[in-house]
Amino acid sequence: MMTYVILFGLLVAYKANGWLMALLPATALISWGLTDLMKKARTKAWKRFWLIVVVLVDLAPLIYFKYTNFFISIFNDAFATNFSPLSIILPVGISFYTFQAISYSVDTYKQKITYDVSLLEYCFYITFFPLLFAGPITRTDTLVPQLRYKSPIDGKLVNLGLWLIILGLLKKGIVADYLAQYTTNMIFDNPADYSGFEVAMGVFGYAMQIYCDFSGYSDLSIGLAAIMGFRLLPNFNFPYKSRSVTEFWRRWHISLSTWFRDYVYIPLGGNRKGKCRTYLNNFITMLVAGLWHGSTWMFIIWGALHGAALVIHKFCKSLFLDKIKDNIPVKFFSWLITFVFVLVTWIFFASKNMDDACVVFSKIGTDFDWAYLVPFVGARTMWTVFALLAFILHFTPYKWNEKIKEYFVKSPWIVKLLLFALAVQLVINFSQDSVQPLIYAQF
């Protein structure tokens, strides 16, 4: 079974990347081999040496394909040269399988993985096709043990997988793609052409779009894995409910935020070397996270803003926030500040350059008028419905979501089939001329 899944994963990679897919098996073979050498090393110094080697080897293709032109532009600006950017195509999914490879090597070095992982198991782990395009980043100890101790088919797990697939289709195929028509394809392409109210709606819509886009893909990935008999960890936990930036990063893209915590923040020293060093480590980690998202200054600014917000929250928390009574007004105010901050930072994330971001801020700050509300809703009724529906459903009580999921799992198979068919039909009905690409696939 493992061989067939590996071959299918390579076929999916080939369809997405052409012959650049060769990087995937090459990464698997080289990373596993170097990690095996590290395990066999007799001294800690040699183990550390091989760890550095394997991490650098894993990162080399990612750095070349993702950051070469960024470094060339920095060099040109610094030394007034005019080196032309190279014609480089970023292989889809390279960041995600690179991070999975690094996590295996580091966890092996730290003896968190106490069992031998065969080459076949490792290739399965790296090439598992539901995770190839946009994660979630899965650790070895989540996937490999399930390969070894396969239990009989779990009907509840299969039904749960189908439920997640339906949710993923609705989130990505309908809401995210429909919102993208206005947010990504219009507002953030030419913000100067719209009023402040329209631009503000575009920023709000983008927040809903990126959430539904990536959480929808995560639901599809986790659901598909569940149908195959594998339990993967959830990747989103209603992040816009957060009442602090710290909480936001515990709910948003959980697999990525925990990866940066375990393999960047903690190796930098974590919170073990005093408050000032903790603040610095938080800030550096978010800078790295910003750079990971893309090789432009916009993503670095986005990461720096979140890093600064984490530092400010932790500083204020120890200074006076813990002393404030946690009542309803405080909870609402905390949520509002956090949500507005996240919206503001999405502007840098979505804008093509700083000039466009400044136009967005200028339009909202100087040209915002509620008089546009009625004509906007009249002109973009369905868009408004989808944006508000995504927002409202995001804030439904957790127990309601669990009950609906439970009802679906226990429902007759004919009901499940009809709901799945309905979801597919809705995607077809609301689809546009071309499917919007996954936002996180570019990272």
Backbone phi, psi, residue 131, to 5°? -100, 0
Report d(CA 156, CA 229) in Å as an integer. Answer: 10
Residues in the chain: 443
Which among 107, 214, 21 has a CA at the least distance from the CA of 222? 214
Contacts of 282 (CB under 8 A, 6+ apart): 265, 307, 310, 311, 314
Between CA 69 and CA 65 the distance in angstroms is: 8
Query: How would you label 355-377 residue by residue, b for 16+ Cβ within 10 Å and e otherwise?
Result: ebbebbbebbeeeeeeebeeebe
The answer to whether 293 is a known catalytic residue is yes
**Which H or E run includes 201?**
helix 196-227
Neighbours of 395 (CB within 10 A): 10
Token pair in block for residue 147: 């390969």
| Alpha carbons 164 and 222: distance in angstroms, whole number | 7
Q: Are 156 and 412 in contact (CB under 8 A)?
A: no
CA 94, 99, 103: angle at the middle one, nearest 5? 155
Residue whose structure tokens are 């200054």 = 297
Residue type (1 letter), 48: R
Question: Which member of 253, 293, 306, 313 is catalytic?
Answer: 293
C-alpha R_g of the chain: 23
Contact 141, 110 (CB under 8 A): no
User: Which of the residues are catalytic?
Assistant: 293
